[in-house]
Amino acid sequence: MSENHNNRDKILLEYTEKMAQTGTWELDLTDNSIYWSDGVYRMVGDEPQSYPVDFNIGLNVIHPDDREKALAEMNAAISEGKDYNITKRFLLKDGTIKHISSRGTVIKDESGQPMKLIGVFQDITETNSLVEQLRLSNERFEKVTQATNDAIWDFDVTKNQLQWGKGFLTQFGYDPDVTKPSFEFLLSKIHHDDRDRVFGRIQEYMQNPEKVNWFEEYQFEKSDGTIAFVIDRAVFIRDGNGQVIRVVGAMTDISYRKVMEDSLRTLNHQLEDHARELALSNKELEQFAYVTSHDLQEPLRMINSFLVLLQKKYGDKLDPKAQQYIHFATDGALRMRQIILDLLEFSRVGVHLDRIESVDFNEIFNEVKSLQRRKIEESKADVSSDKLPIIDTYRSPIIQVFHNLIGNALKYAEPSRRPKIQVSFEDHKDHLKFMVIDNGIGINSEYHDKIFIIFQRLHTKESYSGTGMGLAIVKKIVENMGGAVGVESVPGEGSTFWFTIPK
């Protein structure tokens, strides 16, 4: 019976030790002899009872750094007769380190003298590493909280406990050491305009197990009473039953962005208003130019025809001076007519009466050349061109541009040499560039911008005819198509007028 009982205890102990990863030991204080249970042998990596143990063997399995402490605890227990509970490390023969929880108690004889020390070792390496992992992950969380500017919060739903990161202090002025973080406090600082909505959205996420990633934008009151615009992002963490147990979130102050957005929006509105006003006044101007130039034609025609009549009927009765005055008046009327025609044309730029079509620029070049045939022949000019592209665009404005540029190149030729005019072409990444290169009189660089302005001329009508509208028309056409125009020139050597068409 007792044999049986002992045996059963032995089996029970063996299994208990295996399951709980424990081992028991006994130190006989009368002769310092030691007994280890199977569990202790297993713990130190050896076959149970494969060798007898003594005090030194027992001491040697303890990590050298922990030995002193372990001995001191043991001695204190013996001399003071009290239990101890410490952790220490075992250093195994193969170098592995085990974390051991070690408890001991003293057994005394009838006279109260310590007789035995018995104890239990428990291998807590695994638990320790779990604790360590948790500590590390908490540390990492802390670091992230510090590294980001965001205000990180961590709400333990089951305990109704809220934790704040440093961001609440740096971003919003709430010191967790002063203000105890709580869900209620957080909610109370949400602007009343937004509070119900935000709370409602939180409730929605609490109740719906499908919802995980929460996101809200709201106004949040800082500790100094000012309002910050924030984006709050959170993750709802649930247990196996879909119950929310924890919510971790981060608040980002976007006030700066909000202010920028607002001023951008205002700026945009202003720009739109200006654009509308500009379009309106442009339209009015164009209409004005169109109407006036139209209406001016009529009285001008009258002046002209009466001057002709005057000349015809009374020409023989007038002295040469009067004849000359009539001539000046006729000439002025003619020039005015040209100005009006140019103005009319200028005001019509951009009002496309034709459709976009495939335009062969080589054809355009030949057409312009034939329009200028008389001048080319008179001056014996050499007018040539690179191979030009075919582009989908408006035909007549392009003719107009080349007509004006080649016309100018012929007009402003240097009298002492044969005019040479070359149209060249470059294909760039996002635009096409055309150049009209001449060897004419050239233009001083201080006038390079001025000449594109309406009515701006560098010469008197006596030296070179013209109204100063040609380049203004070119500029308006090119810019209307989204391109740019300009000139490079060396006075006395020649000019290169270029313009671009975006692809």
Judged by the rule CB under 6 A, the positions of this chain that interact with ligand ADP are: 404, 408-409, 412, 438, 440-443, 451, 457-459, 466-472, 495
Q: Whose Cβ is closer to ligand ADP: residue 340's or residue 441's?
A: 441
| Of residues 213 and 463, the one with the C-beta less far from ligand ADP | 463
Q: Cα(166)–Cα(151) distance, rounded to whole angstroms?
A: 7
Q: How far is the CB of 468 from ligand ADP (least distance, A)?
A: 4
The span from the CA of 25 to the CA of 7, in Å, is 19
* CB 473 to ligand ADP: min, Å: 8
Q: In this structure, are residues 398 and 361 in contact, taking their beta carbons and an 8 Å threshold?
A: yes
Structure tokens at 433: 């560039």
Sequence-ordered alpha helix ranges (H) in 54-182: 55-60, 64-80, 125-147, 167-172
- Least Cβ distance, residue 381 to ligand ADP (angstroms): 12
The identity of residue 298, as a single letter, is E
Work out how close the CB of 339 gets to ligand ADP at its nearest, in angstroms, rounded to a whole number: 10
Which CB, 326 or 458, lies closer to ligand ADP?
458
Residue 226 CB, shortest distance to ligand ADP, in Å, is: 59
* Neighbouring-strand partners of residue 87: 101
CB closer to ligand ADP, 167 vs 470:
470
Between 27 and 349, CB nearer to ligand ADP: 349
Closer to ligand ADP by CB, 364 or 441: give it. 441
CA-based nearest residue to 171, from 53, 254, 74: 254
CA distance 204 to 183: 16
Nearer to ligand ADP, 170 or 379 (CB): 379
Residue 44 CB neighbours (<10 A) = 21
Nearer to ligand ADP, 21 or 495 (CB): 495
Cβ proximity to ligand ADP: between 100 and 441 the closer is: 441
How big, in percent rounded to 5, are the helix, strand and coil portions of the chain? 50, 25, 25
Report the nearest approach of ligand ADP to the CB of residue 453 (Å): 8
Nearest distance from C-beta of residue 301 to ligand ADP, angstroms: 22
Question: Residue 398 — φ and ψ, nearest 5°?
Answer: -65, -40
Nearer to ligand ADP, 385 or 467 (CB): 467
- Among residues 158, 183, 318, the alpha carbon closest in space to that of 246 is found at 158
Structure tokens belonging to residue 163: 């934790």
The CB-of-382 to ligand ADP minimum distance in angstroms stands at: 15
CB 471 to ligand ADP: min, Å: 3
Kindly give, in sequence order, each residue whose CB lies less than 8 Å from that of residue 116, ignoring residues fewer than 6 positions away: 26, 27, 28, 29, 106, 107
- Cα distance between residue 471 and residue 450, in whole Å: 10
HSE value, Cβ hemisphere, 13 Å, CA-based, for 144: 12
Amino acid at 389: P
**Listing from the earlier edge strand, what are the strands of the sheet with 84-91?**
33-36, 22-28, 114-123, 97-108, 84-91
Using CB atoms within 10 Å of the CB of residue 66, give its burial: 0 to 12 exposed, 13 to 18 middle, 19+ buried. middle
Query: Do 323 and 315 contact (CB within 8 A), yes or no?
Result: yes
> If we measure between CA atoms, which residue out of 125, 133, 42, 121 comes closest to residue 85?
121
Least distance from ligand ADP to the Cβ atom of residue 413, Å: 8
**Looking at beta carbons only, is 252 or 400 nearer to ligand ADP?**
400
Min separation Cβ 308 and ligand ADP, Å: 26
